[in-house]
Amino acid sequence: MRREIPIAITFIVGTVFIIAYFIPHYPFNQFENWFNDWFAIVAAFAIWLGALNLLKISAIKIFLKKTDQLHAALIIISFLVMIFYGFYNGFSGIMANPPYSYRDPAPGINFSWLYDYVYSSLSATMFALLAFFVASASYRAFRARNFEATLLLVAGFLVMLGRVPVGDLITQWLPRDYQLSQLANWIMNILNTAGQRAIMIGIALGLVSTSLRIILGLERAYLGGD
Amino acid sequence: MKVKAFFLISAFVLSGFVSGFAQESAEPIPVENDSLTVAETPAPATDVVAKDTPNDAGGSITVTWDLSPDDTTKKIVTKYVVMRAEEGSDDFKEIGSQVAGKRSVTDNEVVDGVAYIYKVLATREILQDDAIIEVLSSPSEPVGPAKSTAQWFNMSRLNIFIGIIILCGAIIYYITAARGGKSFYIRKIAGIVEVENAVGRATEMGKAIYYVPGINDMDDVQTLASLTILGKVAEIAAQNDTRIDVPVSRSMVMVTAKEIVKESYSRAGRPEAHQDDQVRYLTDDQFGYAAAIDGLFVREKPATVFLIGAFFAESLIMAETGNSIGAIQIAGTAQPSQLPFFVAACDYTLIGEEMFAASAYLSREPKLLGSLKGQDLGKAVFLFAIVIGIILESFGIPVSNLFKVQ
Amino acid sequence: MRTREIIAFFALIALILLAKYVLPHPMQFSPTLSLIIIILLSLTFIIIGVLTLQGKFVERRIVFIYVGAALTLPFFMQIELEVPISPEVQSAYDQIESLNPGSKILAAFDYDPPSAPELQPMADAFMKYCFHKGIKVIIMGLWPQGPQQAGQSVEAAFEDDPALRDKIRYGVDYVNLGFQSGNEFVILRMGESFKAMFPADIYGTPYDSIPILRNVKNYSNIDYCMNFSAGKPGTQEWVQGAVDRFGLKLSAGNTAVQAPMIYPYLQAGQLDGLMGGMAGAAEFEKLTGYKDKATTFIKSQSFAHIVVIVFIIIGNMAFLRGKTERKVK
């Protein structure tokens, strides 16, 4: 029964949701809302599972003096500091007159300071790494190995130059419709769109097929095995 | 007396000239507070229709109208105010308004089965110093009664219903055929063929395998597909006595992945080799997760990396870092925007539907292969429909509305 | 960490502190100096090309240094680049330009700080344009940090023209409804009732008490929608939910990575206009007349693209040479 009950639930819920998509009458029109609410509640409580797991593994690394215990200590300290200031500023804000939110960008609110000057900066830094990685990936991957690769290379050149003002600077002597920016737009609007659509259609069909397999109970790996 | 009449008549004539040279925009026209000039009331809206909003859960009536002639020509209409009263009552209340140039309002505060009467007021607001000093409006003829009802089938989605019947019917047909013993061919998918070699490489080098199942939660089919592949990869790793680590971004994915890896080790006959910390939660935050994964890659230096699931901007960061440590990388995602990054940075990439087909490919179970066949038939039908649609549209026969999704 | 990496790290910090506290501000290279720098960098490319042909391949960290230089040096160079306007950005601008003063536009801020470098400039230009034109803005977000980014756009508009601080009134000319979780569900519910999803604004003021929201029940009561999106939920969900189901008119600004996925919707007419990445932001700034960060940043992007292209050419030169040698053997 350990497997049969989840498979039955999956089948019933999956079928009901498919049917509900076509039936606007109450209560079918509310299923999606109820499900989203329940999922948000379950996910919110489930966060504690992950957080406690993270703390447990980090603590074990520190106690057993493993190689990356410094990183583990940093995780625990950061975790506790953010929680402390979140609660502290939250309660202070509720008790203040007039009340303020711990997310208000007012000076002196530590949580907001940590968000703006630590979290936002670190997130932006990680995102900025993409610029460098794109360069190194392009340098390594864009080789004219065969006809298709050469085609990709040329298209990449045209779009990279056409999407910045330098492209038109180079081709300003050509008629407007033949300048690099127009060529890049044509590649994006026509060639890229066609390719994206084809991939999206394939993905959508794959999604339907996989979802149907899960609903019918043919795909059971997510339960922990066949 | 004659002088007073002369001034009154002149005022009417002048007001006609003023309204004739009214501004282009639908803004309320500032008029001087001159008691001798009279602002013109706009003509009412015409062809007002009130009917039940179709394909909904009830409680809604849509009111449409044709624009007032003064809206399009003289542009003196500020807005259309929609009034409602129950049938048999004269107590009209405002239920909504629409700016000039628009021609419908949906009333979502009605009770099913109750008859309502509607009228539309073409309204002109006259401003002075940013304050409304006069409101002129002319009502349309009351229309109705209109009653709202809930529908049991959304007819606007009939095309999707037919599409689903065709696609699901094809899939179920081929699954049934597979159950009956029919075998189906599946082409080689390079990324999946190399899974065993990739795991073998990690075994030979004595290093770990890292499996990253994406950053979405269990409600994403990509994550489910990734966890299905994880089961197979973990089983091969267990058979080869190679450690597999699964750092995850979501708590529920962690719980599911723990079960899957544990089961895989049991199936491989190596339950004692399984360790609980193989699957661990890092963070929900996108770039925090990417930073953590990068740190693990650089410190642990795994020999094999699987990046399979839903990824966004962090995909290239992870893939490039994996490449920099010399790991063999097999990636797969159904995010079209991330595919180019994986193709450039990874050794093998499962593109979209190949990732969804991976479980069928790895297990070679006839029922799963049958579902792939059904999916392919669905693709053939859509391809045929696209070609026919292009031909018909090229000859001016509009068929695109048949495929509109609502 | 190896010693030389630690030294390089501290050297970088010293360089940044030097640039911030010792060097003159604002620091601008003269056009002659800018040209000399460009020529010198070009010469180093030739040297790298020659070395690569000799079999001495450049390390990835050298590529990173060149990309870093290409991104930072243009900030100090006095170079003007003419930004060509693409049809999709022109279309987005035309839609907003056609709105009358007093029209209400729903601005959905669906991004967070990491995507702000690309999306914040177009959001800033949008907000400045709306405020100056008298278009009323209803702000909301499907990402938690979205409304805060919108707040930064409002602040940017006020800093650009301090007179707006007195002229533009919160609650009358703009309102920030804040963030609501639920992704596509929020979009669909807003089609029936904004108030159901946002019973109060970001400060807790009840929906019905806010003047700008009077008579705004759902999408049929607003004139246009502008979406700034960095992923999911974002433009795709707005198109599938609001445009297809409720007929909402929509233009969008997306990150450069996201934009290619959105072109099909533009082609199909479901989207009126699209601003993609930094280039789209620079074009929009030019059209609205509020040239700011994107116009500056596009110079960096231009140089970075050239650097990437040069390295690709160098890499291919070595590859083709190696291929020729193998054929000869």
Cβ-Cβ contacts under 8 Å, C60 against chain A = 136, 139
Claim to verify: residue B91 and residue B229 sit in the same structural domain: no
Q: What is the mean pLDDT of chain C?
A: 89
Cα distance from A136 to chain B (closest Cα, Å)?
8
Please report the pLDDT score of residue A104 as a whole number.
60
Cβ-Cβ contacts under 8 Å, B338 against chain C = 257
- Indicate whether A103 pLDDT > 70: no
Claim to verify: residue B208 and residue B131 sit in the same structural domain: no
Cα distance from B182 to chain C (closest Cα, Å)?
39
By the 8 A CB rule, do A212 and B175 touch? no
Claim to verify: residue B337 and residue B222 sit in the same structural domain: yes
* C63:A156 CB<8 A: no
Structure-token match 């080789």, residue found: A143
Average pLDDT of the residues in B54-64? 92
Domain-embedded: residue B261: yes
Claim to verify: residue B272 and residue B213 sit in the same structural domain: yes
Instruction: Tell me which chain A residue has its CA closest to the CA of residue C181.
Output: A40
Cα distance from A83 to chain B (closest Cα, Å)?
14
Q: What is the mean pLDDT of chain B?
A: 87
Domain-embedded: residue B221: yes
Cβ-Cβ contacts under 8 Å, B160 against chain C = none
Of A22, A133, A213, the CB nearest to B154: A22
- Using CB atoms, list chains with 3+ pairs below 8 Å to chain B: A, C
Please report the pLDDT score of residue A12 as a whole number.
92
Please report the pLDDT score of residue C214 as a whole number.
86
What's the rounded Cα separation, in Å, for the pair B391 and C217? Answer: 43
Spell out the domains of chain C, with CATH numbers in brackets: 3-79+295-328 (no CATH), 87-291 (3.40.50)
Strand B279-281 versus strand B143-146 pairing type: unpaired
- Indicate whether B313 pLDDT > 80: yes
- E strand intervals along B205-268: 209-214, 244-248
Domain-embedded: residue B296: yes
What's the rounded Cα separation, in Å, for the pair C181 and C142? Answer: 6
What's the rounded Cα separation, in Å, for the pair C22 and B37? Answer: 70
pLDDT tens per residue across span B80-119: 999 999 999 989 999 888 878 888 888 888 999 999 999 9
Within an 8 Å CB–CB cutoff, is residue A3 touching chain C? no
Cα distance from A62 to chain B (closest Cα, Å)?
15
Residue B158 confidence class, pLDDT cut points 50, 70, 90 = very high
Cβ-Cβ contacts under 8 Å, B154 against chain A = 21-24
Report the CATH number that the domain containing residue B265 is assigned in CATH.
3.40.50
Domain-embedded: residue B28: no
Lowest-confidence pick of A149-163, B23-37, B58-72, C37-51:
B23-37
Task: Give the residue, C275 or B1, on which the prediction is more confident.
Answer: C275
* C220:B324 CB<8 A: no
* B96:C217 CB<8 A: yes
Please report the pLDDT score of residue C106 as a whole number.
97
Instruction: Tell me which chain C residue has its CA closest to the CA of residue B24.
Output: C100
CB under 8 A, 24+ apart: contacts of C289-292: C289/C129, C290/C124, C290/C125, C290/C128, C290/C129, C290/C160, C292/C121, C292/C124, C292/C125, C292/C156, C292/C160
Instruction: Tell me which chain B residue has its CA closest to the CA of residue C241.
Output: B406
- Indicate whether B282 pLDDT > 90: yes
Cβ-Cβ contacts under 8 Å, A185 against chain C = 86-88
Please report the pLDDT score of residue A30 as a whole number.
86
Average pLDDT of the residues in B296-320? 95
pLDDT tens per residue across span B208-219: 999 999 999 998
Claim to verify: residue B133 and residue B249 sit in the same structural domain: no
* B264:A225 CB<8 A: yes
Claim to verify: residue B281 and residue B342 sit in the same structural domain: yes
pLDDT tens per residue across span A62-93: 999 888 888 899 999 999 999 999 888 888 87
Within an 8 Å CB–CB cutoff, is residue A189 touching chain C? yes
| Domain encompassing residue B311 | 195-346
Could you tell me if residue B87 is left (phi over 0), alpha (psi between -120 and 50 degrees) or otherwise beta?
A: beta
- Using CB atoms, list chains with 3+ pairs below 8 Å to chain C: A, B
Claim to verify: residue B53 and residue B134 sit in the same structural domain: yes
pTM attached to this predicted model: 0.81
Instruction: Please report the residues numbered 79 through 118 in chain C whose beta carbons come closer than 8 angstroms to any beta carbon of chain A.
Output: 81-84, 86-88, 112-117
Claim to verify: residue B122 and residue B208 sit in the same structural domain: no
Cβ-Cβ contacts under 8 Å, A174 against chain C = none
Cα distance from C278 to chain A (closest Cα, Å)?
9
Claim to verify: residue B199 and residue B341 sit in the same structural domain: yes
**Chosen domain end from B111, B146, B181:** B146
Lowest-confidence pick of A222-226, B318-322, B359-363:
A222-226
- Indicate whether B295 pLDDT > 90: yes
What's the rounded Cα separation, in Å, for the pair B174 and B376? Answer: 11
Count of structural domains, chain B:
2
Cβ-Cβ contacts under 8 Å, B105 against chain C = 220-221
**Chosen domain end from B294, B327, B346:** B346
pLDDT above 90: percentage of residues in chain A: 29
Cβ atoms within 10 Å, residue B36 = 12
Average pLDDT of the residues in C165-171? 92
Average pLDDT of the residues in A115-134? 88
* A126:B256 CB<8 A: no
- Indicate whether A199 pLDDT > 50: yes
Cβ-Cβ contacts under 8 Å, C243 against chain B = none
Domain-embedded: residue B237: yes
Residue A105 confidence class, pLDDT cut points 50, 70, 90 = low
Domain-embedded: residue B141: yes
Alpha helices by DSSP H, listed for C251-292, are 259-267, 277-288
Cβ-Cβ contacts under 8 Å, C67 against chain A = 131-132, 135
pLDDT tens per residue across span B227-258: 999 999 999 999 999 999 999 999 999 999 99
Neighbouring C-alpha atoms within 13 Å toward the C-beta of C195: 15
* C71:A131 CB<8 A: yes
pLDDT tens per residue across span A106-119: 555 788 788 878 88
Domain-embedded: residue B8: no
What's the rounded Cα separation, in Å, for the pair C115 and C127? Answer: 18
Please report the pLDDT score of residue A3 as a whole number.
80
Give the ipTM of the model, two decimals please. 0.89
Claim to verify: residue B263 and residue B127 sit in the same structural domain: no
Average pLDDT of the residues in C18-29? 77
Closest residue by Cα to residue B339 from A200, C231, C278:
A200
Claim to verify: residue B85 and residue B220 sit in the same structural domain: no
Domain-embedded: residue B268: yes
Residues with Cβ within 8 Å of C147's Cβ and at least 6 positions away in sequence, in order, are C109, C139, C140, C141, C176, C177, C178, C179, C202
By the 8 A CB rule, do B104 and B95 touch? no
- Indicate whether C148 pLDDT > 90: no
Of A54, A60, A218, the CB nearest to B281: A54
Instruction: Tell me which chain B residue has its CA closest to the CA of residue A132.
Output: B317
Claim to verify: residue B202 and residue B126 sit in the same structural domain: no
